[in-house]
Structure 1
Amino acid sequence: MEDFIKDMSQSTNCTYRKISIRDDWQETAPVEEKDLRKYLYCTTRHSWFYAAYHAFDEFREKYIEAHGRAPFVTEVVRWYWTIGSDVTLEQHMEMMHRFSVFKAWFVDRYMVSRTRKNVIALHIDTVKARYRDEYPGNNNPEVPGLRATYLSVILEAPELAIPISQISYQSRITKREEKLPMVVSLMGAPNTDMELLRWTLDALRKCGRKTRVQTGKVAL
């Protein structure tokens, strides 16, 4: 990731720096709670699980009317429906308010200034093999606090997932060395969707990186 960011910054005559959202919030938070993990502790439960449950209220009601029983759902859906059903509207609205506070702080601090608009680069996920003969179970655990994958949603900001390289691993299935793509997320300021796309394509071309991936087993 470091090499990718260096290439992108040099090709566009931009500078870059590492940031710690947690540390910066602790120093400059606009609210009394200076621990960001505590402030957004119930992000998953009070936002996603609540919305995921209530989005199907009408469906569940009509299904029960038509069939006299609740619909069958998978283990994971049943799990987050159960959690979401216990969240009150007041709890959900409080989390939405906290999101708006965090968004205003984040955009003002990192993304927009009088002279420029910044791009945030983030790791998306751990790169590891995921075998299809293994039961995945719940792949969306209730991790408290802020997750990198939630940022663009909370900020209502555009995000691009860019494959930048590949890593080798020994496959348990094929007994051969296989490749996994490594992906970096680039996030722009709200309402800069096309600007982010154009800037990214221009930067990739200028630094000699690919703008297309291959089909099949190998991406790059």
Structure 2
Amino acid sequence: MSCGFLDSDRILTKLSSVGSSQSQNHNLLSMKYPLYLTQDDRPLAGLRFAVKDTLSIHGLRTGFGSQAWLETSPAATLTAPAIQLLLDAGATLVGKLKTTEFVEGVDPSEWIHAPSSSSTGSAVAIAAYEWLDFTIGTDTRGSIRHPAGVNGVYGQRPSHGLVSLEGVLGATDLFNTVGIFARDVRVFSDVGSYLVNPRKFPQPTPEVRKYNLLYPTRASQTQTPYQIHGGQHRWFPHPSVDTAFWTEAEKQIEGMLLNLESKLNCERIAFNINELWRATPPIGQPRSLDEAVGHIYSAVTTASAIHGGLDKFISEFQTANDGAAPKMSELVSRRLDHARPLKPVQIAAALQAMQAFRSWTQTTLLVFPQSWGRRDYRDDVPDRSVLFNDTFSIYSFGYLVGCPDYTVPVAEVPYFSTVTEQTEFLPVSISLVGRPGTDLELFDLLRYLRQEGVIADVLAGSRLYADATSGQGCNLDRPD
């Protein structure tokens, strides 16, 4: 029996301010309850979802992670087309979700573990609440992929340009994308496929294709994932490194990859991307990959934020408040100050470097580690002097190349919590990356891997799998 509603906009108006650190009464409507209808043949009927508070919903104000922005913003007169597409397909919207201030990388402090990045509310909600089937987030530099990894759920960054950004606030449309989080592989595949190409829905039975599996490794002298660039370059272990130095998470990932190679009848191709770039840099580009592309994100996104509306917002707020500036975090203010002196020629150079990297990378299927099951307590204060991480990282592929990048939970590992003073578990995830436009093929692959028991659905709550034991990975025996 599918779920239907009498109200035409199909919004269940008992809205939930999941994970919000400030009042969200602007998004609460009169109480209504769903009616269960016997017939609704639309493809996403019966699925409940919530959206990041950067997407427009008709009749509601968008907070953009800022109380000052919220106070000066009128109610939206349209629903973002990406969300309207899902509503028209029968999905039911139940609320809006917390985001960070102007989608900058400010970790919230109201948590035991930092849930990561600007789509934090979307990731936490789908990880915690079984009555949500999927959530919507946005990803510019990793704001879907990393929250999905550290919260142990599936996350989709689609190929750039496949999903409409109309009615979506963000750092820059040049890099931004709209994607989903889900716990169930079939829901993840169905909703994600419909979002990127409703004309090819539903997908056929999964097929076994031939893949080139690229396996980026750390430098040979690097023994752990945390001994290079402060943990920013979290690649796989170099083949020469003794497995005795591997972390428990690396062992879990290795088991999954061996299974993946077996099911796909392929063998991974190990390479170090920094060494490969150094040997084959595009003409006119530095031999250091960090030097070549590390500055692109900070230059483009901060300049886009300034010229795309934040300076205008600040000026209008001051005019309306007797010269008082809107309250903003130190990080946001410093990043805006960084952007104001940038010249158009500097932005053009950054975009040219991005195109050079995009042309250099033409791969079929790339896999790399996403989350290592590493503790990240809220009182582990980050280095506040670092304004940007201007290095090449695992998140750079998505925004530089515009390719699909899906986060896939594969295991969980134990650790002793200094908060609960007992053994707890943290997720371990990988990312699967394909060429731009191969979004449906990646969903097809995930459904096949789920069918073959290589990956599994995850549960809501503190543990990923129903039959989980210490340090074990997927529950591969749960019935459909």
- TM-score normalised according to structure 2 size: 0.41
- 1:58: Cα distance to partner? 2.8
Aligned residue in 2 for 1:64: 318
| Aligned-partner Cα distance in 2 for 1:50–1:215 | 39
AA at the equivalent of 2:315: E
Check the 8 A contact 2:369/2:429 in 1, yes or no. Answer: yes
RMSD over aligned CA atoms reads: 2.3
Cα distance 1:210–1:140, how it changes in 2: closer, same or farther (>3 A)? farther
Query: Bigger radius of gyration, 1 or 2?
Result: 2
Cα distance 1:30–1:136, how it changes in 2: closer, same or farther (>3 A)? closer
* 160-169 vs 69-78, greater mean Cα deviation: 69-78
User: Comparing both structures, which one devotes a greater share of its residues to helix?
Assistant: 1
Secondary structure of 1:71 counterpart = coil
Secondary structure of 1:29 counterpart = coil
- 1:125: Cα distance to partner? 4.3
AA at the equivalent of 1:74: S
Residue of structure 1 aligned with 2:293, choices 37, 40, 45? 40
Residue of structure 1 aligned with 2:444, choices 186, 189, 198? 198
AA at the equivalent of 2:433: M
- 1:106: Cα distance to partner? 0.7
Cα distance 1:94–1:167, how it changes in 2: closer, same or farther (>3 A)? same
Aligned residue in 2 for 1:159: 405
The yes-or-no answer on 1:175 pairing with 2:421 is yes
Aligned residue in 1 for 2:64: none
| Aligned-partner Cα distance in 2 for 1:197–1:140 | 37
| Aligned-partner Cα distance in 1 for 2:366–2:346 | 30
| Aligned-partner Cα distance in 2 for 1:213–1:139 | 37
Considering Cα pairs closer than 8 Å and 6+ residues apart, tell me whether 1 or 2 has the greater RCO: 1
Residue of structure 2 aligned with 1:189, choices 431, 435, 438? 435
Secondary structure of 1:173 counterpart = coil
Residue of structure 1 aligned with 2:281, choices 29, 39, 42? 29
Residue of structure 2 aligned with 1:131, choices 377, 393, 415? 377
Check the 8 A contact 1:43/1:145 in 2, yes or no. Answer: no
- TM-score normalised according to structure 1 size: 0.85
- 1:88: Cα distance to partner? 2.3
Check the 8 A contact 2:256/2:454 in 1, yes or no. Answer: no
- 1:138: Cα distance to partner? 5.3
* 28-37 vs 165-174, greater mean Cα deviation: 28-37
| Aligned-partner Cα distance in 1 for 2:438–2:342 | 34
Secondary structure of 1:151 counterpart = helix
| Aligned-partner Cα distance in 2 for 1:144–1:196 | 29
Cα distance 1:126–1:84, how it changes in 2: closer, same or farther (>3 A)? farther
| Aligned-partner Cα distance in 1 for 2:293–2:455 | 37
Aligned residue in 2 for 1:148: 394
State the Cα deviation string for residues 90-113 of structure 1 (Å, max 9, x = none).
212211110011001112xxx1xx
- 1:201: Cα distance to partner? 2.2
Aligned residue in 2 for 1:100: 355
Check the 8 A contact 1:22/1:35 in 2, yes or no. Answer: yes
Check the 8 A contact 2:372/2:427 in 1, yes or no. Answer: no
Secondary structure of 1:185 counterpart = strand
- 1:13: Cα distance to partner? 1.6
- 1:132: Cα distance to partner? 4.1
